[in-house]
């Protein structure tokens, strides 16, 4: 058996001097007895995969709301693509793959139904900015329960930091967290182009030529160039970075997506309805707090926050079904 102790020794021998070793973890908020087999980051990964919030990602919007097509990305498939890209980078740089995987799998657990439209709706509802990275941390710290019944997943400090800082102004303090931060962008830029092409919202010739000349004109080629550039730029460095040329080309693609897909495109035409639905649900639950499951009220006495937690955790289809249940009249059928 390749025990945890042996794995810790293997990490010390094989991983880069810049890697975050499992044996050097800053630990958990609540101290626990270590596993005989798994390292601390492996246990974090497993707790995330077995969580309800992770399973719900399969029915949460990535770009297109509640897509009917079988091949459009959802928040779950996005998460898996981020994990794959991040692990490839971590292995090439001899960094800690288990830590990278745990952060990648947990980074979007706090995303709302209907993607960023849901975030915008909750921001307008509450009057304070809703950030999915903060909500993701709230999910793993408070909302999720372990099989033992204890509140929160009690993840390591390193994984919590990577989840919190995968977006926003602060960078993760581990290189593994920094990898996920960039891998997230690599993944969504490329798969959102792929989905927009499939939907007919853009065509291949619309992509900015200056970006295509650097990154290539196919999905696989772009990812390969972005990943290899990051590896080459970060090798034996205490920072995860990209070359100026590839970084600039990547930003051109990202700006193109905002201008042609994310804002005002045909694929976003249902967002107004999605936002109105969440606002209606918020008002309904604030007036009927007894409809909120007890698991959201037992740790949160502020009803406003409990309602936000409940709505943020919904899948697209669950929110839509509640809208039908609460706001659409059921036709009367004569039983005679």
Q: Does residue 309 fall inside a structural domain?
A: no
Q: Does residue 288 fall inside a structural domain?
A: no
Read off the pTM. 0.95
Reported as type and span, the H/E element at residue 85 is: helix 75-92
Q: Does residue 170 fall inside a structural domain?
A: yes
Total domains in the chain come to 1
Of 270, 295, 284, 272, which is closest to residue 325 (Cα–Cα)? 284
Rounded to whole angstroms, the Cα distance separating 327 from 214 reads 51
Enumerate residues 6+ apart whose C-beta is below 8 A from 199.
64, 72, 266, 267
Q: Does residue 161 fall inside a structural domain?
A: yes
Of 173, 121, 142, 134, which is closest to residue 51 (Cα–Cα)? 142
Of 164, 162, 228, which is closest to residue 20 (Cα–Cα)? 162
Q: Does residue 331 fall inside a structural domain?
A: no
- Is 118 in contact with 65 (CB distance < 8 Å)? no
Q: Does residue 176 fall inside a structural domain?
A: yes
Give the structural domain span for 179: 4-265
Rounded to whole angstroms, the Cα distance separating 212 from 215 reads 5
73-103 as b/e, with b when 16 or more CB fall inside 10 Å? Answer: bbbbbbbebbbebbbbbbeebbbbbbbbbbb
| Residue 99: per-residue pLDDT | 98
Enumerate residues 6+ apart whose C-beta is below 8 A from 141.
29, 152, 153, 155, 160
| Residue 150: per-residue pLDDT | 83
Q: Does residue 143 fall inside a structural domain?
A: yes
Q: Does residue 287 fall inside a structural domain?
A: no
Burial class (CB in 10 A: 0-12, 13-18, 19+), 71: exposed
- Residue 149 above 90 pLDDT? no
- Residue 267 above 70 pLDDT? no
- Residue 253 above 80 pLDDT? yes
Mean pLDDT over each residue of the chain, to the nearest integer = 94
Helices (H), 171-328: 175-199, 209-215, 219-234, 244-257, 271-287, 294-297, 303-312, 316-327
pLDDT confidence band for 327 (50 / 70 / 90): very high
Average pLDDT over residues 271-287: 95
Lowest model confidence (mean pLDDT) among 117-131, 256-270, 274-288, 309-323: 256-270
| Residue 188: per-residue pLDDT | 96
| Residue 291: per-residue pLDDT | 96
Q: Tens digit of pLDDT for each residue in 108-137?
A: 999 999 998 999 999 999 999 999 999 999
| Residue 65: per-residue pLDDT | 77
For residue 133, the domain's CATH number is 1.10.3210.10
pLDDT confidence band for 79 (50 / 70 / 90): very high
Lowest model confidence (mean pLDDT) among 43-52, 140-149, 165-174, 204-213: 140-149
Rounded to whole angstroms, the Cα distance separating 178 from 170 reads 10
Rounded to whole angstroms, the Cα distance separating 225 from 240 reads 16
- Residue 66 above 90 pLDDT? no
Rounded to whole angstroms, the Cα distance separating 165 from 170 reads 6
């Amino acid at each position: 058996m390749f025990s945890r102790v042996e794995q810790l020794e293997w990490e010390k021998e094989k991983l880069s001097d810049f890697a975050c070793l499992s044996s050097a973890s800053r630990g958990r908020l609540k101290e626990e007895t270590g596993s005989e087999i798994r390292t601390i980051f492996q246990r974090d990964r497993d707790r995330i995969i077995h969580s309800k919030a992770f399973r719900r990602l399969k029915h949460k919007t990535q770009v297109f709301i509640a897509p009917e097509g079988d091949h459009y990305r959802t928040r779950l498939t996005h998460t898996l693509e981020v994990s794959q890209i991040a692990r490839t980078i971590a292995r090439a740089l001899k960094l800690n793959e288990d830590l990278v995987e745990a952060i990648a799998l947990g980074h979007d657990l706090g995303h709302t139904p209907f993607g960023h439209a849901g975030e915008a709706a909750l921001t307008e509802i509450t009057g304070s900015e809703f950030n999915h990275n903060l909500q993701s941390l709230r999910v793993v710290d408070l909302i999720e329960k372990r099989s033992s019944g204890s509140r929160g997943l009690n993840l390591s400090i390193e994984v919590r930091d990577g989840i919190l800082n995968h977006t926003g102004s602060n960078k993760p303090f581990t290189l593994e967290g920094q990898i996920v931060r960039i891998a997230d962008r690599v993944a969504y830029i490329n798969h959102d182009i792929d989905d927009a092409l499939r939907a007919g919202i853009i065509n291949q010739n619309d992509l900015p030529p200056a970006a295509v000349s650097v990154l290539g004109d196919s999905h696989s080629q772009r990812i390969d160039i972005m990943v290899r550039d990051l590896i080459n730029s970060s090798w034996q460095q205490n920072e995860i970075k990209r070359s100026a040329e590839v970084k600039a080309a990547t930003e051109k693609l990202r700006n193109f997506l905002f201008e042609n897909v994310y804002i005002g495109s045909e694929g976003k035409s249902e967002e107004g309805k999605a936002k109105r639905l969440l606002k209606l649900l918020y008002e309904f639950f604030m007036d009927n707090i007894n409809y909120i499951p007890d698991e959201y009220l037992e740790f949160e006495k502020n009803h406003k926050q409990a309602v936000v937690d409940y709505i943020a955790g919904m899948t697209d289809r669950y929110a839509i079904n509640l809208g039908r249940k609460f706001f659409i009249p059921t036709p009367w059928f004569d039983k005679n």
